[in-house]
Amino acid sequence: MERTYMNFCNYLMTKKNTSANTLASYQRDLRQVMIYLQENEIHSWKDVSDETLKNYFASLKAANKSDATISRSMSTMRCFFKYLVSKKMISASPMMGIKGLKSEAKLPEILSNDEVELLLWQPDLQTVKGIRDKAMLEVLYASGIRVSELLALKMSDVNLDVGYLMMNRHEENERIIPLYNLAVQALRNYINESRPQIVSNQREQNLFLNANGQAMTRQGFWKLVKHYTAVAHIDKDITPKTLRHSFATHLLENGADINMVKDMMGHSSINSTRVYTKLLKTKYLSTYENCHPRAVKVGE
């Protein structure tokens, strides 16, 4: 079982170009399944039945694992057993008869306009780090790009004269995203004043760098956002993705066309963008119930 597990992980890395985070998730899920199988004296993937997996998922539920965790594990198992079928190690996937969990999508957390302003003005612009952090936060909120895209930006992806970012250049999903003036200014300050003091290799092409002059990591940026959230005393569970959600919601709230928002965010389907219209409906309903003088609940 161990060798098959290792071969599958190697397949994900070399053939599927799976991201480090996704690979770690697959590995964690499979390791947990392997422990369960060993405890139940199942020592071959060929001996794993749909009943075995149903009992495993039931054990996760009994251990109070979240629906999201169980759904992710199911997804991992589907991918893994599909791989085994492709390698002719088993004739059919035991996941075929197992239905996924039905759960309503959780609406994303967003910031109000005031909270965005508060967060964006936390970095100390008298320091090299503060100038960089200000630029990163402004660009993320101005563009709505993914955190992975923000951290992968190259110097050549930025046009400060016109004020836009060029995402996925020379690819089919290439897109141009405008930046508002404050974001352009913050980015110009970083490139002209802060980045030259951070960069260690003058041939470094990554736009945003850490204190060692290397590309900023997801973990590093996550800590950065959490720090400024705490300093701003914003009582919400803010992550880097929160600014992306806020970008989309605020655009739609102010009359932007949903198809334009879809294109700017790089969504392949309009359904991914429609979640923000649902969020707005919820927000408007809550405002109406709390603010309309005759929207008082019966019995109050």
Arithmetic mean of pLDDT, 120-145 = 96
Alpha-carbon separation of residue 177 from 134, 143, 162, 262 (angstroms)? 19, 6, 11, 12
CB 165 within 8 A of CB 176: yes
Q: DSSP of 173-216, one letter per residue? A: T-EEEE--HHHHHHHHHIIIIIHHHH-SSTT--BSSB-TTSSBP
Alpha-carbon separation of residue 219 from 23, 148, 151, 215, 239 (angstroms)? 16, 11, 11, 12, 11
Dist CA 103 CA 100 (whole Å): 9
Q: Give the type of residue at 131.
A: I
Of 105-109, 155-159, 288-292, least confident by mean pLDDT is 288-292
CB 139 within 8 A of CB 165: yes
Superfamily covering domain 113-289: Intergrase catalytic core (1.10.443.10)
Looking at residue 293, its pLDDT comes to 56
Q: Where in the chain is the domain with CATH 1.10.443.10?
A: 113-289
Q: How many helices (H) and strands (E) does the chain have?
A: 13, 3
DSSP secondary structure letter of residue 108: P
Dist CA 297 CA 300 (whole Å): 6
Dist CA 219 CA 82 (whole Å): 32
pLDDT of 35-45, one tens digit each?
999 998 999 99
Q: Give the type of residue at 227.
A: H
Residue identified by tokens 């409906």 is 281
Phi and psi at residue 175, to the nearest 5°: -150, 150
Structure tokens at 126: 């008298």
Angle at 239 between CA 233 and CA 244, to 5 degrees: 115
Task: Count other C-beta atoms under 10 Å from residue 51's C-beta.
Answer: 11
Dist CA 277 CA 233 (whole Å): 28
pLDDT of 69-112, one tens digit each?
888 999 999 999 999 999 999 999 999 888 876 655 566 788 99
Residue ranges of E strands in 71-150: none
Residue identified by tokens 């019995």 is 299
Dist CA 127 CA 149 (whole Å): 25
Q: Is the alpha carbon torsion for 185, 190, 196, 199 positive or negative?
A: negative
Is 1.10.150 the CATH classification of the domain at 2-86? yes
Dist CA 255 CA 257 (whole Å): 6
Looking at residue 300, its pLDDT comes to 45
Arithmetic mean of pLDDT, 123-149 = 95
184, pLDDT greater than 50: yes
pTM of the predicted model, to two decimals? 0.62
Strand partners, 177: 165
Looking at residue 269, its pLDDT comes to 82
252, pLDDT greater than 80: yes
Arithmetic mean of pLDDT, 235-264 = 89
Q: Kindly indicate the confidence band of residue 298, based on its pLDDT and cuts at 50, 70 and 90.
A: very low
Residue identified by tokens 């974001």 is 183
Q: Where in the chain is the domain with CATH 1.10.150?
A: 2-86
Dist CA 55 CA 98 (whole Å): 11
